[in-house]
Structure 1
Amino acid sequence: MSLSRKDKPLYLQIKNILKDRILHGVYPLGENIPSEPQLEQEFSVSKITVRGAIQELVQEGYLERGSGKGTKVIRNKAASKLSKWKHFTEILVEEGHQIQKKWLRAEAIRTEADTELHELFGEQCFKLERVYYLDDKPYIYYTHYLSMVLGKLKLSDLNARSLYELLEEHNISLDRLRDEFSVAAPPPEAEEILQLSGKGMPLLKRSRYSYDEHGKITEFSVGYYNTELQNYIVNYDV
Structure 2
Amino acid sequence: MRRKKVLYLEIADTIKNDIQNNVYPVGSMLPTETEFEGLFEVSKITIRKAVEVLALQGYVEKKSGKGTTVISNRLFNKLSKGDSFSTILEKKGMTLSKKIVNIEKVTLEHEHPYFAFFGAEVTKITRMYELNEEPYIIFNHFIPGKVFQETQEKLADSSLYRILADNHLVVDHFKDQFSVSIIGAAEQNLLATDVTHVMKRVRKSFDNDGKVIEVSVALYNTEQYPYEMEFEI
Aligned residue among 189, 213, 225 for 1:218: 213
Shift of 1:79: 7.8
Q: Is residue 228 from structure 1 mapped to residue 223 from structure 2 by the alignment?
A: yes
User: Partners of 2:97 and 2:125 in 1: how far apart?
Assistant: 17
- The 3-state SS of whatever aligns with 1:129 is strand
- The 3-state SS of whatever aligns with 2:227 is coil
Q: Is the 8 Å Cα contact of residues 75 and 162 (structure 2) preserved in structure 1?
A: no
Q: How does 1:19-98 map to 2 (within 5 A)?
A: 80-81=76-77, 83-84=79-80, 85-98=82-95
**TM-score of the superposed pair, with normalisation by structure 1:** 0.63
Aligned residue among 182, 194, 203 for 2:198: 203
Shift of 1:157: 1.8
Aligned residue among 158, 162, 165 for 1:165: 162
Q: Is residue 155 from structure 1 mapped to residue 152 from structure 2 by the alignment?
A: yes
RMSD (Å) for aligned C-alpha atoms: 2.2
Q: Is residue 139 from structure 1 mapped to residue 136 from structure 2 by the alignment?
A: yes
Shift of 1:184: 0.7
- The 3-state SS of whatever aligns with 2:161 is helix
User: Partners of 2:78 and 2:145 in 1: how far apart?
Assistant: 24
Q: Is the 8 Å Cα contact of residues 107 and 154 (structure 1) preserved in structure 2?
A: no
User: What code does the residue aligned with 1:215 have?
Assistant: G
Count residues in correspondence. Answer: 163
Q: Is residue 125 from structure 1 mapped to residue 133 from structure 2 by the alignment?
A: no
Q: Is the 8 Å Cα contact of residues 110 and 125 (structure 1) preserved in structure 2?
A: yes
User: What code does the residue aligned with 1:216 have?
Assistant: K
Q: How does 1:158-197 map to 2 (within 5 A)?
A: 158-197=155-194
User: Partners of 2:184 and 2:158 in 1: how far apart?
Assistant: 27
Shift of 1:187: 4.2
Shift of 1:122: 1.2
Q: Is the 8 Å Cα contact of residues 82 and 176 (structure 1) preserved in structure 2?
A: no
User: Partners of 2:119 and 2:206 in 1: how far apart?
Assistant: 16
Change (3 A) 1:163 1:79: closer
Change (3 A) 1:210 1:58: closer
Change (3 A) 1:101 1:215: same
Match in the other structure for 2:13: none
User: What code does the residue aligned with 2:207 have?
Assistant: D
Change (3 A) 1:147 1:79: closer
User: Partners of 2:170 and 2:152 in 1: how far apart?
Assistant: 21
Change (3 A) 1:118 1:183: same
Larger Rg: 2
Match in the other structure for 1:114: 111
- The 3-state SS of whatever aligns with 1:112 is coil
**TM-score of the superposed pair, with normalisation by structure 2:** 0.64
User: What code does the residue aligned with 1:231 have?
Assistant: P
- The 3-state SS of whatever aligns with 2:90 is helix
Give CA-to-partner distance per residue, 1:8-44, whole Å, 9 cap, x none.
xxxxxxxxxxxxxxxxxxxxxxxxxxxxxxxxxxxxx
Shift of 1:154: 4.8
- The 3-state SS of whatever aligns with 2:214 is strand
User: Partners of 2:135 and 2:83 in 1: how far apart?
Assistant: 22
Q: Which segment is superposed worse, 90-99 or 158-167? A: 158-167
Q: Is the 8 Å Cα contact of residues 139 and 225 (structure 1) preserved in structure 2?
A: yes
Shift of 1:208: 0.5
Shift of 1:151: 5.2
